[in-house]
Amino acid sequence: MSLPSVLLLTGCVTSVLPLSFDFSDEDEAEALDLTIDALDQAYAFTDWKGLDWEAVHDRLEDEPDWDRRLRRLVEEIPDGHVWLEHEDGRLCPEATGAAGVLFSDTDDGDVVVVRSEAAGVEPGDVLRTWNGLDPEAAIAAQPLFCFPVGLATEERRRNGRIRLLGRGLAGSAHELELERDGARVDVALELAKDGADPRTALGLQPPTERISSRMLTADIGYLSIGWEDTAISDRAARRALRQLWADGARALVLDLRDNDGGTDQTAANIVGMFTDHEWFYETITMYDRRVEGQAVISEVWVEPQELYWDLPVVVLINGNTVSSGEGMAMMLDRFPGVELVGFEGTAASFGSSGSTVKLPDGWVLTWPAGRSLDADGQIQLDSDQSLQGGVVPDHRIPWTLENRVAWAADPDGYEIAVAIERLEAL
């Protein structure tokens, strides 16, 4: 979620604009002190997430490596609007190498190989030891600080660590003990240097298109929304939905996977195409310099649009559905005739992003200074101190070995196929 468009257009409410700090000329220790002070002052979810900034500082100050100290700061803050970026886009050293193996856990408790490009490793192999550790110990040992974004839920953090099982220092080796058809298989894998985009390498797929659409079957249409930043998104979504109807669509797969957010009013306008009456969406608060705390600045409502789609809809979500993408999923789940489908819940990060800190050696930290409140004035969607939050699927695709292997072979198409099955079963 971003700053409401009214503030962006007028620029007159300067006391509640996102904060900007520049500590890049400070020494590293002082820059960390000042950053922690800024977060303590104005981070929107300190109490909600049970963060003790003094304790966070104490855990970080003895870390000798500056890059790792900042990465560990991000790990301390379970919030998908907390981002650490470097001017050269560098990847965490502990994740520069790829073994060519993707792991997943399953509902029966096993950690399994779901995709492999490595000799001697096959999809379906069950992990028994990883560098001498049992699977749970291996998962716990993974450097979650390699993710440049705060992972906000227990589900997201566990899935992140499992992804790291297939990565490590370039040139290092993984010693794996696998089980295949009841037999033990020992494999040594050397990790090759991976030049992939850091976000893609870690499964944080950025969207590539704002709006795309096509027909999936003779009567099922597909509409994907990658982000919803301006009225352009609103108009493009309406235009696409009209065309799908004209092409014969009488049911819809609405894809919000990897949606990385945008503006609140645009998101509300898009979901307004799927209802015929008004709904409360949120109250927005932002950090106000005058009172040194959160202040209510506006409300957002979903209003019915000229175009009204009242036919069946399956909405696809995943752990990268974040910010106003989550807001759309939240509202759509309240409407009749709509079902949310996916393997996992959304990112649980719905605050107002935009505050920044420039840090030594080319680093920039971004974090939220505002909140979204429900009709009762409670924080909505952002994970709390129990690391619970977000939007969960109405139909959670089971994490069976068969499903996960099929998904890994075609991450985009597999869930679309599940959505088609759900619609055809209606």
Q: What is the pLDDT of residues 33-90, one digit of tens each?
A: 999 999 999 999 999 999 999 999 999 999 999 999 999 999 999 999 999 999 998 8
**Contacts of the segment 228-232: beta carbons below 8 A, 24+ positions apart:** 228/259, 228/261, 228/262, 228/263, 228/266, 228/267, 228/270, 228/324, 228/325, 228/328, 229/2, 229/262, 229/263, 229/266, 230/262, 230/263, 230/266, 231/266, 231/269
255-275 residue pLDDT tens? 999 999 999 999 999 999 999
Least confident of 7-16, 115-124, 206-215: 7-16
pLDDT of residue 14: 57
173 and 188 Cβ atoms separated by less than 8 Å: yes
User: Is residue 300 classed as helix, strand or coil in its secondary structure?
Assistant: strand
CA-CA-CA-CA dihedral for 106, 191, 202, 316, to nearest 10: -40
Under the banding of pLDDT at 50, 70 and 90, the label for residue 13 is very low
Residue 320 backbone dihedrals phi, psi, to 5 degrees? -95, 5
Read off the pLDDT of each residue in 235-251 and give the average, rounded to a whole number.
97
Mean pLDDT of the chain: 94
Provide the token pair at 7.
């503030």
Identify the weakest region by mean pLDDT among 83-97, 150-164, 390-404: 83-97
Angle between helices 411-424 and 401-409 (to 10 degrees): 120
Sequence-ordered list of residues with C-beta below 8 angstroms from that of 301, at least 6 positions apart, any chain? 268, 278, 279, 280, 281
Kindly tell me if the per-residue pLDDT of 7 is higher than 50. Answer: no
pLDDT band of 11, cuts 50, 70, 90:
very low
Task: Find out whether 420 and 220 touch, Cβ atoms under 8 Å.
Answer: yes
For residues 207 and 227, is the Cβ–Cβ distance under 8 A?
yes
Q: Count other Cβ atoms within 10 Å, centred on residue 8.
A: 12
Q: Tokens in use for 1? A: 């979620």
Q: Where are the domains of the chain?
A: 5-86, 93-194, 211-352+370-424
Q: Does residue 187 contact residue 178 with C-beta atoms inside 8 Å? A: yes
Rounded Cα distance between 318 and 256, Å, is 8
> Which of the 8 DSSP states describes residue 136?
H
Mean pLDDT of 324-338: 97
% of residues, the chain, pLDDT over 70: 97
Name the helix (H) or strand (E) containing 326: helix 324-332
State the pLDDT at residue 15: 75
Note the pTM of the prediction, 2 decimals: 0.94
Determine the CATH number of domain 211-352+370-424: 3.90.226.10
Interval 82-106: pLDDT, tens = 999 999 988 899 999 999 999 999 9
**Secondary structure class of 233 (helix, strand, coil):** helix
CATH code: domain 93-194 is 2.30.42.10
Q: Calculate mean pLDDT across residues 282-299.
A: 93
